[in-house]
Structure 1
Amino acid sequence: MTIVNFTPWTALLGGIFIGSSALLLLLAAGRIAGISGIIAGIGSMPDKRWRIAFVAGLMLMAFFLFDSGGFTAPSLERFSVIRLVLAGLLVGIGARLGNGCTSGHGICGMGRLSWRSVVATLVFMAAGIMTVTLFGLGA
């Protein structure tokens, strides 16, 4: 497996940013920063404005970081569009079945010491490890 641009300091800084933003959202608005729940609520909840702003901020920051030249993302050119769409759908279905995603369970839930989130995160990690191992996608 090849890790692109990994350094302990960037990982630590990223973890601090993610944890701080999740804590800020919880303290300021009483909301959990679970991305699947935030996105699911855009279409049906009356409080759409903060949800749209949150998702827009995620996307804009990613574009900003990668356009600045300081970060690079691994190329997805070797994968077909059908395979990428199928992978995205499976992740979405898994998040729905797990009643949350890795951000909701792995960051917020585990930070609140929720056993349900600990179990969900372990299942997510095991499924990811099995998928990479079975399909040889780590190289």
Structure 2
Amino acid sequence: MIGFTPVSATIGGALIGLGAGLLWIVNGRVAGISNIFGSLVFGARVDLPWRLLFLVGLPLGAAIGLEFGPDFLSEMSGALPTLDLPSPLIVIAGFLVGVGTALARGCTSGHGVFGLANLSLRSFLAVAIFMTTAVLTVLFAKQWP
């Protein structure tokens, strides 16, 4: 397993902050994935071009990373945890994540990156609940037979 790497974590955090900041400055929008996706799929289809570009850019960025950094991916594969869970349980978990982001009026990217940077109490509480739930979920999943 790969240990904590402060340099790459700092660079990654700076790039996420830069991307969120640029989206705010250029478009006046928060980089919350659940809101971007939800408005695109279920909303009034406002601001369609930038939402599509943003969502297409996510897997495209991953594909570029795979092309130019396959060594990094193979190095990381041993560091990623695996859970041997039944498919229906994974589908239910994904549905519950969607319900949770709707109830929280945003996801980890919106609340965690932008909301905390704006010192939003609502975002602080949402992130605290997200993280607590994540820890409890991991503890529960490790007990799964």
The TM-score range, normalised by the shorter chain, is 0.7 to 0.9
Out of 118-127 and 84-93, give the one that drifted further.
Answer: 84-93
| Deviation of 1:135 (Å) | 2.2
Corresponding residue number in structure 2 for 1:121: 127
Distance 1:11 1:118 in 2: 21
Distance 1:80 1:5 in 2: 29
Of 11, 17, 26 in structure 1, the residue corresponding to residue 9 of structure 2 is: 11
Of 93, 111, 114 in structure 1, the residue corresponding to residue 117 of structure 2 is: 111
Distance 1:55 1:86 in 2: 23
Out of 75-84 and 48-57, give the one that drifted further.
Answer: 75-84
Distance 1:47 1:25 in 2: 13
Corresponding residue number in structure 1 for 2:137: 131
| Deviation of 1:6 (Å) | 4.6
**Normalised TM-score (structure 1):** 0.86
User: Aligned in 2, Cα 1:101/1:80: closer, same or farther, shift over 3 Å?
Assistant: same
| Deviation of 1:47 (Å) | 1.1
Q: Which amino acid aligns with 1:24?
A: L
Gapped runs of 5+ residues in structure 1?
A: none
User: Aligned in 2, Cα 1:35/1:5: closer, same or farther, shift over 3 Å?
Assistant: farther
| Deviation of 1:60 (Å) | 1.0
Distance 1:18 1:61 in 2: 13
The CA RMSD measured in Å over matched residues stands at: 2.0
